Chains A and B, each alone.
Chain A
Amino acid sequence: MNAESPRPDQDASERHQLPILNQPSSRRTALKAAGFALGLAAFGKALSPMMVIPENVSAEEFLQQHYKELTEEDKKRIFARLEKEAKEEYGADVTISDPPPIPGVRFGYAINLSKCNGNGKCMEACNKENNHHRGTDQSYIRVLEMSKGSLDMEHGTTTYDHTVPQDDKFYMPVQCQQCDNPPCVSACPIEATWQEDDGIVVVDYNWCIGCRYCEAACPYHARRFNWEQPEIPADEVNGNQGYLSNRIRPQGTMEKCHFCLHRTREGRAPACLEACPTGARVFGDLNDPDSDINYVLKHKRVFVLKEELGTRPNFFYFFDS
């Protein structure tokens, strides 16, 4: 150390000291000091996100890993935390589950446009089932009123407020099409959204950074952004919650239709299907040749939305004749 300018009154041991403080200035010590300062600054910068954790986010939640990295133990702990938070913030008793895809099952959904009359009960059922924000009456479904003669959903309107169906209109509910080639998944910069084995495209609400690229990428306008922390009266909170589906989402994250996976992966029908008073909705396993959905695909005039984009939806529309 300090080999350039050893002072005669220093013995050898005293010369071997840390190079920063109270050293005679030299080019080397200056560089070392600068290097140490830089290192310290970088370390501080690396830790700085810890200082800006929002008040409503615990350190544990902030440090939570991606869904695919979580062990069963992690999940148990996280679900317990979420259940506790739901109790504290919403006064509701909830159970969070994480049903896996059923092996060999691939979900398909179809809507009979000859039957749908635009009454909107599906949107309402979605709102209630999926613990949507009541302030905006959010829903994963939009029912479009379309002029007969065109299938261009961009010309559909959603603000109609008259008895339905009108003679010169038809009605087309649009929700996530669970594409096999999902543009939203490609657009996500952090892999917070992906397609599961049963075809359902899911979002890790805790990994999502809310950049909304996926919302812009979706040609079906199917993704929603949580502008606000959802407000739900305690007695209206649906306590049957899936971690990747209808649990109460944090503010600032993206969400979308997940085919009610907390229901459908248990064998039950989606909420919007059960709510439909016209029986326009058909749901089932595309891999089962005898399923309802395959009957529709084999016997009806079926089309998919915006087929030309190559998104390969698992969501279909059909007419009776």
Chain B
Amino acid sequence: MNINKANRNGMTNATAVIGIFAAVFVGVLAAFGAVQLSDPAPDDGLQERAGEDKGSGTAETVDSFPVSIRKPIGPPRVLTGIVDAEGNAVTASCSSCHTTRPAIVATKVSAELDEFHSGMPFSHGSISCLACHNQDDYDALRLADGTRLEFSDVMTLCAQCHGPQMTDYEHGAHGGMTGFWDKSRGPQEKLNCIDCHLPHTPQFPKMQPTFKPKDRFLSPEGGDH
């Protein structure tokens, strides 16, 4: 009988142990299942994602946003070295001086000048000052055919000689941009020629790199990566 009693207790213990494990097992199953079973309809997500695009990027609305080109400010003004009563520098327009003296068409480099602009760096082919500046109105520019052109429209002037660059520019392959690549979703802003190329020394300036990732591929020791 003692043996049987022990047997009974043993059986109870075993049942309890197994029961606990079963409970844990079911619990864990439920935990895993909760993540998987909470997906009522797998296609819902896809439909939701596709649905989000309604009303944008359709063929009818293409190019509804403008491409704006930053316009240069109007005619440049020259510092006179004088400060007014409020402390602001007094500037003069080009025509202030240039209406008082005759234009010299032959001048090609600033070194030929002895009074003004003589130290101005110039490296833009062998063109005359008056190829671009307007001898009849120094507050404006001049196209090759003699047409007067505002300073703010300088890109038309540049494009006379730099046609391929202008074509690339118009197709987004020259000069940077910011904003939206997709003009149906937002505007795009672009710089103009003289934002990057100084008119008198148009070559893009040299730069000093300032940012270097320090990953193993880049380490000077080289070696494996």
Q: Which residues of A pack against B, CB within 8 Å?
A: 9-10, 14, 17-18, 20-22, 40, 43, 47, 63-65, 69-75, 99-100, 102-105, 112, 115, 117-121, 123-124, 127, 136-139, 142-143, 158-165, 221, 224, 264, 266-269, 273-274, 276-279, 281-285, 291-292, 295-296, 299-300, 320
| Distance in angstroms between the alpha carbons of A21 and B6 in the assembled complex | 10
A-B contact pairs, 18 of them (CB 8 A): A18-B14, A21-B10, A72-B45, A74-B38, A120-B210, A124-B210, A137-B211, A137-B214, A143-B209, A163-B206, A164-B208, A165-B206, A221-B217, A266-B185, A267-B180, A283-B181, A300-B173, A320-B164
Rounded to whole Å, the gap between the CB of B60 and the closest CB of chain A is 14
A102 touches B53 (CB 8 A): yes
Least CB distance from B132 to A in Å reads 23
**Closest CB in chain B relative to A138 CB, distance in Å:** 6
Chain A residue with Cβ nearest B225: A221
Chain B residue nearest in CB terms to A163:
B206
Q: Is B97's beta carbon under 8 Å from chain A?
A: no
Least Cβ distance of A203 to chain B in Å?
Answer: 17
**Which residues of A sit under 8 angstroms from B115, Cβ to Cβ?**
none
Q: Are A224 and B215 interface neighbours, CB within 8 A? A: yes
In the complex the two chains form, what is the Cα distance from A96 to B215 in whole Å?
27
B101 at the interface (CB under 8 A from A): no
8 Å CB contact of B181 from A127, A277, A278, A292 = A292
B32 at the interface (CB under 8 A from A): yes
With A164-B207, A278-B204: A18-B176 Cβ-Cβ less than 8 Å:
no
Return chain A residues, CB-CB under 8 Å to B204.
117, 278
Contacting pair A69 B39 (CB below 8 A) = yes
Query: What are the residues of chain A within 8 A of B211 when measuring CB–CB?
Result: 120-121, 123-124, 127, 137, 139
Which residue in chain A gives the minimum CB-CB distance to B206? A163
Complex Cα gap A244–B88 (Å): 53
Give every chain A residue within 8 A of B180 (Cβ-Cβ): 267-269
Q: Are B209 and A119 in contact (CB under 8 A)?
A: yes
State in angstroms the CA–CA spacing of A73 and B35 once bound together: 11
CA distance A276 to B173 in the complex (A): 13
Distance in Å: Cβ of A154 to nearest Cβ of chain B: 11
Chain B residue with the shortest CB-CB distance to A60: B35
Q: Which of A40, A104, A163, A282 neighbours the largest number of chain B CB atoms within 10 Å of its CB?
A: A282
Contacts A21-B14, A73-B38 given: A161-B172 contact, CB under 8 Å? no
Q: Which residues of B contact A14 (CB under 8 A)?
A: 4, 7
Which chain B residues border A266 with CB–CB below 8 Å? 185
Residue of B31, B181, B218 touching A267 (CB-CB under 8 A)? B181
Once the chains bind, are B213 and A138 in contact (CB under 8 Å)? yes
Q: How far apart sit A268 and B50, CA to CA, in the bound complex (Å)?
A: 19
Q: Does B175 contact A (CB under 8 A)?
A: yes
Contact A163 B186 (CB under 8 A): no
CB-CB under 8 A from B40, the residues of chain A are 71
B225 adjacent to A103 (CB under 8 Å) = no
When the two chains form their complex, are residues B36 and A65 in contact, meaning their CB atoms are under 8 A apart? yes
Query: B194 on the interface (CB 8 Å rule)?
Result: no
A292 close to B213 (CB less than 8 A): no
- Bound state CA distance, A119 and B21, in angstroms? 64
- Counting CB contacts under 8 A, is B11 at the interface? yes
Is there an interface contact between A163 and B208, defined as CB atoms closer than 8 Å? yes
Q: Give the docked Cα–Cα distance between A10 and B6 (Å).
A: 13
Q: Which residues of A have CB within 8 Å of B213?
A: 123, 127, 136-139, 142
- What is the CB-to-nearest-CB distance from A242 to chain B, in angstroms, rounded to a whole number? 13
Which of the residues A17, A71, A118, A165 comes within 8 Å of B38, measured between beta carbons?
A71
- Inside 8 A of B207's CB, which chain A residues have their CB? 117, 119, 163-164, 277
Q: Output the nearest chain A residue to B175 by Cβ-Cβ distance.
A: A279
Known: A127-B213, A164-B208. A17 touches B35 (CB 8 A): no
User: For residues 1 through 16 of chain B, which have their beta carbon under 8 Å from a beta carbon of chain A?
Assistant: 4, 6-7, 10-11, 13-15
Query: Using an 8 Å CB-CB cutoff, how does the interface string of B51-90 with A read, 1 for contact, 0 for none?
Result: 0110011000000000000000000000000000000000
In the complex, A164 Cα to B207 Cα: how many Å?
A: 5
Contact A292 B21 (CB under 8 A): no
Q: How far is the CB of A251 from chain B (nearest CB, A)?
A: 15
Let me know if B217 and A158 touch, CB within 8 A. Answer: yes
In the complex formed, the residue of B with least CB distance to A17 is: B11
Contact A120 B215 (CB under 8 A): no
Q: Please, which residues of chain A bring their CB within 8 A of the CB of B49? A: 100
With A74-B35, A117-B204 given, name 12 new contacts (CB 8 A). Answer: A22-B6, A22-B7, A22-B10, A69-B42, A71-B39, A120-B211, A124-B210, A137-B211, A139-B211, A163-B208, A267-B182, A269-B179
